């Protein structure tokens, strides 16, 4: 029993178990029901804290493990108007659904997402000509299962589909062919051209998908009229839904649905539960939703792990006999090894995992390392750095050593020296026009993007803040930049920390500072950004530094911020001591940001510690779909 709830809240906040806002939330609930059992307020405070770590709910069976006085929670939670059952008082701020305790808003979002998915799992009628079109689009002649072909077939079969896979498994290639397939079948069936929209959670992810889609659509083996019906423009999910600044609402919703027939969302691992609920709410009935993403990446910053929940069973397939027979008929694929009639779920029949990486071959250390991390095989992870692979290396993790690697790179793997020297070597000649300076700005951004230092934490010598300071100082000492800490200088890279709709800059956008002619014989500093226009394309924008009110220097970047990006050379710095943020998913995400070179900056024991910790966010979504 908790005798004095206020003393308990103060103590728990003082020792770091709770945050001040968790304490404030519990005290606020106490004002709504002055006679409430103190244990209810303690449970609410712990639930609030769990949300900060990405959990949607808390299993009340675990409350007694955290605080002995909170045992037998079901009995005392039922005795207050602050807690309702799913069918109970809709004004109650907390909901107890089985053994899971939720804040009402998150319970509502989870229930709505589950309901929307279940509504879209019913098989659609077979489209005439499907087998022939699949064979034409996937005429590889492979004897093994063509999982891209399987994914297309499965996605055609209902109004909801998930395609997951690691780097290089062909998620974008698959979805381009899928869109060509859908438009072709619609045209052959005498249906109007499908209205297709493409989206991603961040501007960086949208820009990357935009470039990839545009290139592949041009090479797609379909009629020209069909090709014209496949958009290359990709927008951010916030822009698609019509976000309203300083509110949680969107322009498009159940009363004002989106004007589309098919919505494809890339990098779906970054989408939190609230955003997924808003997306489903804005979808018109009958519209298809196709989610793409890597199930093994870090989950969203906000609460929820929607893609992880949806793909929790993807590795084993769990296809039923009906799906197996249908895939053999329309795709010529035998998925017997992934068939499980006894425990097959409806959701399983709509999820496909792409299993063959075309980017990382047998000689790729990046590929071998990523696989070993996903399997939680600490021994294989350690031996990957034994010198067999030229594209990966593990170095010491001293603060000075990390900064030096970031500046100078290693071998032919670039560091930040490269982009700064590029800026100087490629400066437009005196009198060059706007086009030349725009090309220079684009080139500077591309050169900067060849390398990125990723950090697991924000604070500490090996965190984002400490490394940014060390790298700036190191660049100044090497005479690569003209100023040290605390000011603007040519070459300074910055990341936008908050959406700025007036400037068209989104959270996560990166810019590089350049000295441009002022028209009077001198120079003026401007920050070059690639921003998305209204059609989903990219254009260069130079912004005056004084207009940037929410930016940070970005020589070091958090792993979370790097999602949706790729770099020729990525280096990942882990702290010297165990930390709750060190997980298998974090290391995997850092490794897979690298295209050609990866450098790990960590001690062997810390690496093993991180690989051995798999993230599990509490959620009831998967249980609702089973």
SS (H, E, C) 185-230: HHHHCCCCCCCEEEEECCHHHHHHHHHHHHHHHHHCCCCHHHHHCC
Per-residue pLDDT band at 565 (split at 50, 70, 90): confident
- pLDDT value of residue 307: 94
What is the token pair recorded at 582? 């060190």
Q: Is the pLDDT of residue 321 over 60?
A: yes
Supply the pLDDT for residue 26.
94
> Two tokens at 556?
């070091």
- Looking at residue 623, its pLDDT comes to 92
pLDDT for 519:
77
pLDDT the model gives residue 268: 94
Task: Tell me what pLDDT residue 149 has.
Answer: 95
pLDDT at 50: 93
Instruction: Give the percent of the chain with pLDDT over 90.
Output: 62
pLDDT band at residue 86 under the 50/70/90 scheme: very high
More confident position, 33 or 219 = 33
Question: Can you give the three-state secondary structure of 464-505, one letter per residue?
Answer: HHHHHHHHHHHHHHCCCCCCCCCCCCCCCEEEECCCECCCCE
| Per-residue model confidence (pLDDT) at position 119 | 94
pLDDT, averaged across the chain: 90
Q: What is the mean pLDDT of residues 358-385?
A: 88
Q: What is the pLDDT of residues 325-349, one digit of tens each?
A: 999 999 999 999 999 888 999 999 9
pLDDT, one tens digit per residue, over 435-456 is: 999 999 999 999 999 999 999 9
Mean pLDDT of 197-221: 83
Task: Give the angle subtended at the CA of 418 by the CAs of 414 and 424, to the nearest 5°.
Answer: 170
Residue 75: per-residue pLDDT: 85
Give burial (CB, 10 Å; 0-12/13-18/19+) of 605: exposed
The pLDDT value given to residue 140: 67
pLDDT at 485 exceeding the cut of 80: no
Please state, in angstroms and rounded to a whole number, the distance separating the CA atoms of residues 317 and 351: 8
Q: What is the strand order of the sheet 83-84 is part of?
A: 58-59, 100-103, 94-97, 83-84
Mean pLDDT over 194-217 rounds to 85
List, in sequence order, every residue forming a beta bridge with 17; answer none if it has no partner. Answer: none
At 123, list the tokens: 């098989």
pLDDT, residue 532, reads 67
As a whole number, mean pLDDT of residues 473-494 equals 86
More confident residue, 483 or 350: 350
Specify the pLDDT at position 626. 84
The pLDDT value recorded for residue 252 is: 93
pTM score: 0.89
Which pLDDT band holds residue 558 (cuts at 50, 70, 90)? Answer: very high
Whether pLDDT at 536 is above 90? no
pLDDT of residue 275: 95
Residue 520 has pLDDT above 90, yes or no: no
Residue found under tokens 């009402």: 104
pLDDT tens, 176-203?
A: 999 999 999 998 888 899 999 999 988 7
For residue 243, what are the β-bridge partners? Answer: 250
Question: What's residue 115's pLDDT?
Answer: 96
Confidence of residue 315 (pLDDT cuts 50, 70, 90): very high
Q: Is the pLDDT of residue 212 over 90?
A: no
**Average pLDDT score over residue span 257-280:** 95
pLDDT of residue 143: 67
Question: What average pLDDT does the segment 252-267 reach?
Answer: 95
Name the one residue in this structure whose structure tokens are 């319970």.
107
Reported as type and span, the H/E element at residue 416 is: helix 416-425
Does 246 or 127 have the greater pLDDT score? 127
First-to-last C-alpha distance (Å) of the chain? 37
């Amino acid at each position: 029993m908790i005798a004095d709830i206020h003393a308990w809240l103060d103590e728990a906040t003082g020792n770091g178990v709770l945050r001040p806002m968790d304490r404030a939330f519990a005290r606020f609930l106490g004002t709504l029901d002055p006679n409430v059992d103190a244990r209810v307020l303690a449970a609410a405070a712990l639930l609030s804290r769990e949300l900060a770590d990405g959990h949607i709910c808390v299993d009340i069976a675990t409350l007694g493990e955290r605080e002995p006085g909170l045992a037998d929670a079901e009995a005392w939670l039922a005795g207050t108007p602050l807690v309702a059952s799913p069918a109970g008082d809709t004004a109650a701020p907390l909901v107890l659904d089985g053994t899971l305790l939720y804040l009402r808003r998150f319970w509502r979002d989870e229930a709505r997402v589950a309901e929307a998915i279940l509504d879209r799992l019913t098989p659609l009628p077979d489209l005439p000509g499907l087998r022939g079109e699949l064979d034409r689009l996937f005429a590889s002649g492979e004897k093994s299962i063509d999982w891209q072909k399987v994914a297309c077939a499965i996605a055609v079969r209902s109004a909801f589909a998930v395609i997951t896979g690691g780097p290089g498994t062909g998620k974008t290639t698959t979805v381009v062919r899928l869109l060509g397939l859908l438009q072709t079948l619609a045209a052959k069936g005498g249906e109007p051209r499908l209205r297709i929209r493409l989206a991603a959670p961040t501007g960086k992810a949208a820009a990357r998908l935009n470039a990839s889609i545009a290139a592949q659509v041009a090479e797609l083996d379909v009629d020209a009229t069909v090709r014209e019906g496949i958009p290359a423009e990709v927008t951010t999910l916030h822009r698609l839904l019509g976000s309203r600044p300083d509110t949680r609402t969107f322009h498009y919703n159940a009363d004002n649905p989106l004007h589309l027939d098919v919505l494809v969302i890339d990098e779906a691992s970054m989408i939190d539960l609230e955003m997924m609920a808003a997306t489903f709410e804005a979808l018109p009935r009958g519209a298809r939703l196709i989610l793409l993403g890597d199930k093994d990446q870090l989950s969203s910053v906000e609460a929820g792990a929607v893609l992880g929940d949806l793909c929790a069973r993807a590795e084993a397939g769990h296809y039923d006999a009906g799906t197996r027979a249908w895939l053999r008929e329309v795709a010529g694929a035998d998925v017997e090894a992934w068939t499980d009639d006894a425990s097959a779920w409806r959701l399983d029949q709509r999820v496909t995992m792409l299993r063959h990486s075309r980017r990382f071959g047998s000689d790729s250390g990046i590929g071998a390392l990523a696989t070993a991390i996903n399997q939680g095989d600490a021994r294989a992870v350690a031996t990957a750095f034994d010198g067999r692979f030229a594209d990966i290396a593990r170095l010491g993790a001293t603060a000075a050593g990390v900064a030096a690697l970031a500046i100078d790179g290693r071998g032919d793997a670039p560091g930040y020296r490269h982009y700064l020297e590029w800026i100087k070597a490629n400066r437009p000649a005196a009198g060059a026009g706007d086009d030349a300076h725009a090309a220079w700005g684009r080139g500077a951004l591309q050169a900067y993007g060849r390398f990125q230092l990723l950090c697991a934490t924000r604070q500490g010598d090996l965190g984002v803040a400490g490394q940014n300071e060390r790298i700036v100082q190191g660049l100044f000492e090497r005479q690569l930049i003209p100023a040290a800490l605390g000011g603007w200088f040519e070459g300074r890279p910055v990341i936008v920390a908050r959406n700025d709709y007036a400037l068209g800059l989104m959270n996560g956008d990166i810019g590089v500072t350049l000295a441009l002619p002022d028209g009077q014989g001198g120079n003026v500093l401007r920050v070059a950004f690639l921003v998305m226009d209204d059609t989903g394309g990219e254009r260069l924008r130079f912004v005056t530094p004084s207009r940037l009110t929410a930016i940070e220097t970005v020589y070091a970047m958090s792993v979370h911020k790097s999602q949706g990006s790729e770099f020729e050379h990525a280096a990942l710095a882990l702290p010297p001591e165990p930390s709750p943020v060190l997980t298998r998913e974090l290391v995997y995400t850092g490794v897979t940001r690298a295209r050609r070179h990866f450098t790990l900056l960590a001690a062997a024991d810390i690496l093993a510690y991180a690989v051995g910790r798999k993230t599990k966010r509490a959620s009831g979504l998967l249980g609702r779909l089973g």
